[in-house]
Amino acid sequence: MLIVQKYGGSSLATTEKIRFVAEKIVARKQAGNQLIVIVSAMGKTTDSLINLAKEIHSSPPDREMDLLLSTGELVSVALLCMAVENLGESAEGMTGYFAGIQTDNFHTKACIQQIEPSRVIKELNNGNIVIIAGFQGISSENTITTLGRGGSDLTAIAIASAVKADLCETYTDVEGIFTADPKIVPEAKLIPEISYNELLEMASTGAKVMQSRAVEFAKRYDVPFAVKSTFGKEGGTMVKEISLKEGADVSSVSLDEKQAKITILKVPDTPGIAAKIFSALGKENINVDVIVQNISKENFTDISFTVNIVEVEKTMKIAKAITKELNAAEVIHDTEIAKVSIIGIGMMNHPGVAGRMFETLAKENINIKMISTSEIKISCVVSKSDGTKALKSLHKEFIQ
């Protein structure tokens, strides 16, 4: 089998851990597989480099930042190669550039344009374990780019697609994907199989599993991958295309406490007002999540939406300008909210699910402030103080 593995920074945080990872890799190789391994920078390396840069420049230029940060992954590549060779196997380490990862020119958040894996394949055929620096590529202007947060996952999935790997495994410090965050819901269970879409919805509902970009790439090019633990139990979760299952129900519940609610009150209800508000926010790169527009009364309406809590100030500034422009009454915000979601393929074919969700929350005396639904997800915004209780009751109702 041709296997692509990815190890994150916490799996490579010390030389001892690197040696452990090398043993895992070598065991798979000696079982008769071909291996490509994608690595992140060791532990907190990236943060230290960012701090160095900030000592030099209050807002370091993106292109130089990419050159700086790309060195972190190279250190991991070199050390892991040494550890593999210390175990008697041959390894070939390479930068993203030499692995053929071509990106656009958007430094610090580049997108992969194309992968030209001929050198990777040549080294595999020479019997080498190929170890590639994740998170980086080369622009059309021949400058080093990085792929942004979670970039190493993206590298792994893109390489797996380019070389037509039989299996792609991303190793991390959790044992896989759970029905809820085990830190909040101790009864949470490992999900053995999940669809790309469910994982995407989980990410958007606040579950910190994997960056959406990598999952979207996997979905688009249909690259099944496993999420596994480096140091814990084998097992993990397989992420792949899953067709609508008969009787499929809720597969996971999640809680997002990092949202804030913005409400513009008494907006004159004329066509195009929503467009005005949300295109203004879009221009400033502010991601809006749940949107609710009240039923119009006497030609006025209220519009509420949620944004990430770190964007509140920026959002309020824009919202205030729009309020004035639209002749609306005023704009208010609430940061004491939480969003609970239930996720599952085929959920919408079971009409009772939404009702069961609302009933469960009502029984716990939890007031619902906003509701948002998609094909495979229902989210409710509640008070922040009710968040954990809501998550636990939904997990009990739908999973256990």
- 41 or 250: CB nearest a copy of itself: 41
- Does 98 help bind a copy of itself (rule: CB under 8 A)? yes
Rule CB under 8 A: which of 108-127 touch a copy of itself? Answer: 119
Q: Could you say which of 9, 93, 100, 134 contacts a copy of itself (CB under 8 A)?
A: 93
Rounded to a whole number of angstroms, the minimum distance from the CB of residue 96 to a copy of itself is 13
Stretch that binds a copy of itself, among 14-22, 152-160, 166-174, 360-368 (CB under 8 A): 14-22
> For a copy of itself, which is the closer residue by CB, 65 or 226?
65
Nearest distance from C-beta of residue 103 to a copy of itself, angstroms: 16
Residues 6+ apart with CB under 8 A from 214: 150, 153, 154, 156, 157
Stretch that binds a copy of itself, among 91-99, 106-114, 180-188, 207-215 (CB under 8 A): 91-99
Rounded to whole angstroms, the Cα distance separating 347 from 352 reads 9
Q: Shortest approach of a copy of itself to residue 116 CB, angstroms?
A: 13
Stretch that binds a copy of itself, among 65-73, 210-218, 279-287, 366-374 (CB under 8 A): 65-73
Is the Cβ–Cβ distance between 136 and 96 less than 8 Å? yes
Q: Which of 31, 32, 55, 234 binds a copy of itself (CB under 8 A)?
A: 55
**Continuous segment of H or E residues that includes residue 114:** strand 112-115
The residue range among 75-83, 253-261, 263-271, 306-314 that interacts with a copy of itself, by the rule CB under 8 A, is 75-83
Nearer to a copy of itself, 2 or 78 (CB): 78
> Quick check: 18 binds a copy of itself (CB under 8 A)?
yes
Size of the site for a copy of itself (CB under 8 A): 36
Q: How many whole angstroms separate alpha carbon 93 and alpha carbon 400?
A: 46
CB of 93 to a copy of itself, least distance (A): 5
Q: Would you count residue 79 as binding a copy of itself (CB under 8 A)?
A: yes
Residue 295 CB-density burial (10 A; 0-12 exposed, 13-18 middle, 19+ buried): exposed
Do the beta carbons of residue 10 and residue 43 sit within 8 Å?
Answer: yes
Q: Shortest distance, CB of residue 60 to a copy of itself, whole angstroms?
A: 5
The pairing of strands 377-383 and 337-343 is antiparallel
Distance CA 257, CA 337 (A): 7
Q: Following DSSP, what letter does each residue of 186-212 receive, concatenated?
A: TT--B-SEEEHHHHHHHHHTT--SS-H
CB of 141 to a copy of itself, least distance (A): 10
The residue within the footprint of a copy of itself, chosen from 10, 13, 19, 358 (CB under 8 A), is 19
Q: What residues contact 119, with CB distance under 8 A and at least 6 apart?
A: 94, 98, 99, 100
User: Hey, which residues between 130 and 149 contact a copy of itself (CB under 8 A)?
Assistant: 142, 144
Q: What is the largest CA-CA distance in the chain?
A: 79
Under the criterion CB under 8 A, does residue 83 sit at the interface with a copy of itself?
yes
Looking at this protein, which amino acid is placed at residue 126?
N
Q: Is 109 exposed, middle or buried (0-12, 13-18, 19+ CB in 10 A)?
A: middle
* CA separation for the pair 320, 331 (Å, rounded): 6
- Rounded to the nearest 10°, the torsion over CA 322, 325, 327, 330 is 30
Q: 21: helix, coil or strand?
A: helix
Query: Which residues, 6 or more positions from 205, have their beta carbon under 8 angstroms from its beta carbon?
Result: 254, 256, 339, 341, 343, 377, 379
Query: Which of the ranges 3-11, 59-67, 262-270, 282-290 carries the binding residues for a copy of itself, by CB under 8 A?
Result: 59-67
Q: Which of 2, 13, 50, 67 binds a copy of itself (CB under 8 A)?
A: 67
Specify the residue, 124 or 394, whose C-beta has the smaller distance to a copy of itself. Answer: 124
The least CB distance from residue 15 to a copy of itself, in Å, is 4
Amino acid at 232: G
Does residue 49 belong to the site contacting a copy of itself (CB under 8 A)? yes
Interface residue list for a copy of itself (CB under 8 A)? 15, 18-19, 49, 52-53, 55-58, 60-61, 63-65, 67-68, 70-71, 74-75, 77-79, 81-83, 85-86, 91, 93, 95, 98, 119, 142, 144
